[in-house]
Amino acid sequence: MNPTLSIFYFLSFLTVLSALMVVFSRSPIHSVLYLILTFFCLTGHYILLNAQFLAAVNIIVYAGAIMVLFLFVIMFLNMKKEDEEAKTNLTKIAAMIVAGTLFVILFGAYRKSIIGAYNPYEYNSQVGMVESLGAVLFRDYLLPFELASVLFLIAMTGAVMLGRREVGERHF
């Protein structure tokens, strides 16, 4: 087994483990911290794929900015154990059946499918570099790239509109 492959397996194991811990840990703070770990592991995968730019962006945007925001929100919410909504057994059983069925179906689908392999001699190892990424983003994907700004503009307008304080409203 060559070193790249062993690093890949180690990273994958760590990713799956920390992703599972996000779901299983009781405290929301721990969940967020495990989610940060998951993002770091994904960044490792990006580096293995020779996509340095995506790796850097993933660290800065997801593991950095967004997760810090998550942490702040959770600290502001001040969640306590007893606030947890009590779920009936029926809900739990139904959720388990649905999730289990989905798992079995997806597992079966993966097992029975032949995933297309690439030819290592023809594969362009520079495909993940920032140069080819920029070329794709600003030529082939120009329209969705520009229109994503409309999405952000809507979200921003909405946030300002809904967050604006009205006359006579309670001031905290």
Partner 1 sequence: MYPIILLSVLGIVVLFLGFMKSKNILLPATLLFLALALGSNFIDWNQGPLLYFYGMFSVTNLTLAFNAIVLISAFLIVAMTRGFQDDEEAQPAEYYGIMLFSLVGAIMIIGYEHLIIFFVGIEILSVAMYILTGSDKRNLRSNEASLKYFLMGAFATGIMLFGIALLYGATGAFSLTGIRGFVSTAAGAQSYILYAGLLLLLIGMLFKVSAAPFHFWTPDVYDGAPSIFTTFMSTIVKTAGFAAIFRLLSHSFAGIYDFWYITLAVITVLTLFVGNVVAVYQDSFKRMMAYSSISHAGYLLIALTALTAQTERSILFYSMAYSVATISAFGVLMLIAKEKSLDGRPNESYDAFNGLAKQNPLLAFVLTVSMLSLAGIPLTAGFWGKFFVFSSAADRGLIWMLVVAVLMSAVGIYYYFRVVIASYMKEGNTGKIRVAPFYQIVLVAATVITILFGLAPGFFEQLL
d(CA 15, CA 67): 16
- For the bound state, the minimum distance from the C-beta of residue 3 to partner 1, rounded and expressed in Å, comes to 26
Smaller CB separation from partner 1, 113 or 126? 113
Q: Binding to partner 1 (CB under 8 A): which residues in 12-71?
A: none
d(CA 38, CA 14): 8
How many other CB atoms are there within 10 angstroms of residue 42's CB atom? 20
Smaller CB separation from partner 1, 131 or 146? 146
Cβ atoms of 22 and 38 closer than 8 Å: yes
Q: Binding to partner 1 (CB under 8 A): which residues in 113-172?
A: 113-116, 139-144, 147-148, 150-151, 153-155, 157-158, 160-162, 164, 166
Query: Which tokens sit at 94?
Result: 């139904």
Smaller CB separation from partner 1, 6 or 145? 145
Smaller CB separation from partner 1, 3 or 87? 87
Q: What are phi and psi of 141, to 5 degrees?
A: -105, 25
Interface with partner 1 includes 105 (CB under 8 A)? Answer: yes
Query: Which tokens sit at 28?
Result: 């929301």
